[in-house]
Structure 1
């Protein structure tokens, strides 16, 4: 009976699941739901439309530069969010690349307005204020598509300046949270070490519990064997 109990305890130890507190992989980010990704996608599609309408189709490198900068902003958000499940460092790096691309694009729109002697709307401009409120609560290209068809180049460039600025502000806030989490929780190496340490500690704790249970079982078996011995003795009349 003792051997059966020990065998049962060993089988239990082999088949039990260990729930460690530390997780190696972070929870995946659904980048399609990120407001700044959705804004960056709108910026890309609006930039393509702007270049087709207001810049020469051939012979102007600005078109390729603006479209590439807009695409880089969008794609690096996707890649950074995907890589972030295993590498916080790479996520932060790629999101900063995305920010840099959108800042470059913003500079291109400023250059366009300046070289074409068009107005850069100041913050106290009534049209700019309305634009800022609208952009704050609208993130998708479909929100802007029916509007931009009626816009001239000055209006559309100021719209895209506003979108680039708001997207950058949102990304800055998001990056601050990521950087704080990286400092406090570490990267994948630190999480792997924490997970392994937690696993070993849990295994050791359960082994100690099983050893204590085995000692109790041995004592109970000895007690039962004594009782069986007493039962087997002939009774005195």
Structure 2
């Protein structure tokens, strides 16, 4: 892999810059515990996932859509026999998630600081605009980024649009993220470069089976390892 032409490095946000997925899994576990009298935990978790997948094209990604799916799943699990107190608990859980302090991924601050001296850095993420902007500001990482891109979903079309907007070629663009499905495969498909840094928890929707064998792909275990090759 030749990286000498790289001019722009884009970073995913959730679970690449800061911890995110563990908040969702904790909320899921709490819902399943609250409703265990109606349905076993494993079945409740599967039902919630199915509700999320059904709602994804309509609501998109983020905590607010997740909260709506929590409420809908609870209505389904209880056959509509749920108290207002339970609805309130789920709403408060969503607000609690939105107000959680930002926990940076180990080494990401130092990594961005060094890379920003030599490359244009971009934050390229999907989800709710207000929520992602809020997390970026609270993270203290905003100063490292030349450009912020928040989209409803990460597709080849969106990446092509971003590359064109940044006035670089695909061979000059590198994406770094924790999701093979969102941060790696569509980027490789347009002829750009992609680095994968797995997070210990991955949403089922983002999982990809099989290994990736591509000349523009490389996997790392932590952010600081990027400095060894860039």
TM-score range, shorter chain: 0.3 to 0.5
Name the structure, 1 or 2, with higher relative contact order (CA <8 Å, separation 6+): 1
Relative to the length of structure 2, the TM-score reads: 0.33
For the pair shown, the structure with the greater C-alpha radius of gyration is 1
Q: Higher helix share goes to which structure?
A: 1
Relative to the length of structure 1, the TM-score reads: 0.33
